Amino acid sequence: MSAKIIDGKVLAEEVKQMAALAVQTLQQQHGITPCLAVLLVGDDPASQVYVRGKENDCAACGIASRVYRLPAQTTQAELLARLADLAADDTVHGILVQLPLPRHIAPDAVINAIPPEKDVDGFTPVSAGRLLRGEPCFVPCTPAGCLRMIEAAGVCAEGKHAVVVGRSNIVGKPAALLLLRHNATVTVCHSRTPDLAAVCRTADILIAAVGKAGLITGDMVKPGAVVIDVGINRGADGKLHGDVDFESVSAVASYITPVPGGVGLMTRAMLMLNTVQAAAAKTGCDLGFSVKNPVRF
């Protein structure tokens, strides 16, 4: 078997076009332009690239972006004060704090200060709790992008066995909850899972979110499985590699996402949709896609 590629570039463009149309609706019918505020502390080169990408996406969708580039020595109190200002600013609809933060700042304290209605990354405990309970919420962008890619492949998660490798709060756990919400039977693996290969081989849908290049190989994949590669690993060759060994896995899977050109682009696109939804929620405007179930629209 030679797996079909789920093209993140094409899908991300579709999602961004949907966001751009929604922006037009909000402007024409309600006179508001969605606005995303991004806080970047320090000079981590990867973070700077990610933030520039978000600025570009906002511009492409007609979303206003405000990027606050703060020096590495910014104190936690200063950052919290900035957040409080943005929380109170009615013209700002979404707030995002670019991670990682410098070591002297506690990420939880900062994330917790984002009001749930502006939490377009879906990282606050309120958003996480709502996702756990199956309530309307902002879904973290990467898992939302993964689900969108699975659906775009024409695969319905309902009744399937989904295996998620990785249990971080921003990818693995929310991906598992989202799959559960879509009626998959879900297994979550992590660094203490004794026989990872055996568990992965039972997956109809396999999501790898670990951060170890080439961890998932063809012999770990059930023939015909859908494989979603979240991993982003910079190789010694300077190139980006996923957690999935593309060559061996694509010989076994039915669908596979590439790295680069896969989940990363979808993550960025879903952020645009979450931002538009944050603005729309203030107006009660029906954008034609559901805030209750953001990956089905």
> What's the token pair of residue 15?
């999602």
Whether 121 is a known active-site residue: answer yes
Instruction: Determine if 95 is a binding residue for ligand NDP (CB under 6 A).
Output: no
The active-site residue, picked from 57, 119, 121, 229, is 121
Q: Which residues contact 206 (CB under 8 A, 6 or more apart)?
A: 162, 163, 165, 200, 216, 221, 222, 225, 226, 227, 228, 253
Q: Is the backbone of residue 154 left (phi > 0), alpha (psi -120 to 50) or beta?
A: left
Instruction: Determine if 36 is a binding residue for ligand NDP (CB under 6 A).
Output: no
The active-site residue, picked from 54, 118, 173, 222, is 54
Query: Between the CA of residue 250 and those of 6, 167, 182, what are the distances in Å?
Result: 11, 24, 25
CB atoms within 10 A of CB 40: 21
Q: Is 65 exposed, middle or buried (0-12, 13-18, 19+ CB in 10 A)?
A: buried
Using an 8 Å Cβ cutoff, are 297 and 274 in contact?
no
Instruction: Determine if 216 is a binding residue for ligand NDP (CB under 6 A).
Output: no
Q: Strand, coil or helix: what is 264?
A: helix
Q: Which stretch binds ligand NDP (CB under 6 A): 10-18, 73-81, 104-112, 168-176?
A: 168-176
Among 98, 124, 142, 275, binds ligand NDP (CB under 6 A): 142
* Helix, strand, coil share of the chain (percent; to 5): 40, 15, 40
Whether 98 is a known active-site residue: answer yes
Q: Which stretch binds ligand NDP (CB under 6 A): 185-193, 216-224, 278-286, 287-295?
A: 185-193
| Residue whose beta carbon is closest to ligand NDP | 168
Contact mark string toward ligand NDP, 249..278, x via CB under 6 A: --------------xx--x-----------
Q: Which is nearer to ligand NDP, 204 or 243 (CB)?
A: 243
Instruction: Determine if 164 is a binding residue for ligand NDP (CB under 6 A).
Output: no
Q: CA–CA separation, 195 vs 228, rounded Å?
A: 20
Q: Which stretch binds ligand NDP (CB under 6 A): 12-20, 33-41, 125-133, 226-234?
A: 226-234
Among 42, 166, 174, 294, binds ligand NDP (CB under 6 A): 166
Query: Between the CA of residue 157 and those of 14, 15, 138, 153, what are the distances in Å?
Result: 21, 20, 20, 11
> What's the token pair of residue 289?
């896609």
Instruction: Determine if 39 is a binding residue for ligand NDP (CB under 6 A).
Output: no
Min dist CB 84 to ligand NDP, Å, is: 27
Q: Which stretch binds ligand NDP (CB under 6 A): 63-71, 178-186, 224-232, 275-283?
A: 224-232
Q: Which is nearer to ligand NDP, 94 or 174 (CB)?
A: 174
Tell which residue, 193, 194, 218, 195, has the closest CA to residue 206.
Answer: 218
Q: Which residues bind ligand NDP (CB under 6 A)?
A: 142, 165-168, 170-172, 189-193, 196, 209-212, 230-233, 263-264, 267
Q: Which residues are catalytic?
A: 54, 98, 121
